[in-house]
Amino acid sequence: MIGDALVFDGVAHPFNFDPDNAYGKPGQMFSNHLYAFHAALTPDGEPVMPAEEWLHKWSPEEIREMVYNKSDTDLVIAMPLPLTDLYKDGLSSWQRCTELKALDPDRTVFWGTCNPLEGKRALDDMTRQVEEFGAKAFKFYNVRYEDGGPVPWRMDDPKVAFPVFEHLQKLGVDLVGVHKGVPLGPQPVEFTQTWDMDGAAANFPDINFVIYHVGLPFLDETCWQLIRYPNLHASLAATINFVVRAPKLFGEILGKLLFWCGEDKIVYGSEAPIWQPQWALQAFWNYQIADDLVEGYGYPQLSEQAKKKILGENLLRLHGMDVEETRARLGKPQGQPLSA
């Protein structure tokens, strides 16, 4: 906890940056871009690892140490990546994510993943991940990079995406995350746009969709979607880390989200191990949107209630988890001092 806010981290990856894991220059480019985020957005005074140290095969134990022992995080999502076009194991394999969950089964939530372009194999992969390993939700990427070029698919594609969503519903899963914006490696920026979220949300109103990275740089478009569909939500993963390096830019991002969709549709994510979670958590808990943004654009101020919802309560609700029951289970009673 930070203050008396439960912290539910929406994404941590046990990355495998072993050089033998990447498929040539495209995979290496993706790895280097992730390291650039680590180096550029880690604030002064916080440790920046040299590339040769950071780009290694992160163990589940290392992620656990970073998230639980070195930050105020209470729960975390072990998040796989399906980048089997760039890495032999997808970069963060779902199998290693189950190992991360197994270290703290009462606190760590496992999400699954697959490549919807694989048809029946994708459906079979989802069934196994849900029935054998308890996957509570699924994370997707819309851009594949194969045969030297991009192979995109859309969240509103009735032949590729809809069978996957229908199968998830049969499995009892009603939560889906998707990488949007933040093009990395050789991924063309046009295929990371959010245009396809309207069709997904409209055709599957009983599934909650989380737009990761709030769709940056397509934030305005994302906001117009969030306000129209009650089942669309936004993750601050890889955007909350602007809070120290560029606090006014972060205020514009957060202010727009609060203005258009409100505090109930925004969730937190650390993206560990790209960044150590604690400094961003601390800064966010103490953060206020600049007065000129509030007065000039009409953005709501970031209240203590909004911080609690964003840091944990909203994501608990999306997983069907009761806040007070979770507090009691984790031994985190209310009433602790509201100081960071």
CB atoms within 10 A of CB 336: 12
Residue 124 inside a domain? The answer is yes
Pick the range with the lowest mean pLDDT from 49-63, 237-251, 267-281, 320-334.
320-334
Helix, strand, coil shares, percent, the chain, to 5: 45, 15, 40
What was the pLDDT predicted at 336? 47
Q: What is the pLDDT of residues 241-265, one digit of tens each?
A: 999 999 999 999 999 999 999 999 9
Pick the range with the lowest mean pLDDT from 92-101, 161-170, 329-338.
329-338
β-strand 208-212 against 175-179: which pairing, if any? parallel
Q: What is the CA radius of gyration of the chain?
A: 19
Residue type at 122? Answer: A
CATH number, residue 275:
3.20.20.140
Residue 69 inside a domain? The answer is yes
Kindly give, in sequence order, each residue whose CB lies less than 8 Å from that of residue 300, ignoring residues fewer than 6 positions away. Answer: 255, 258, 259, 263, 294, 306
What was the pLDDT predicted at 339? 35
Q: Which residues pair with 232 in a beta bridge?
A: 209
Mean pLDDT of 62-80: 97
What was the pLDDT predicted at 26? 87
Alpha-carbon dihedral angle through residues 223, 227, 233, 235, given to the nearest 10 degrees: 30
Residue 339 inside a domain? The answer is no
Whole-prediction pTM: 0.94
Q: How many structural domains comprise the chain?
A: 1
Residue 3 inside a domain? The answer is no
Nearest CA to 78 among 105, 52, 50? 105
Q: Which domain holds residue 37?
A: 8-330
> Does 77 have pLDDT greater than 90?
yes
Q: How far apart are CA 97 and CA 99, in angstroms?
A: 5
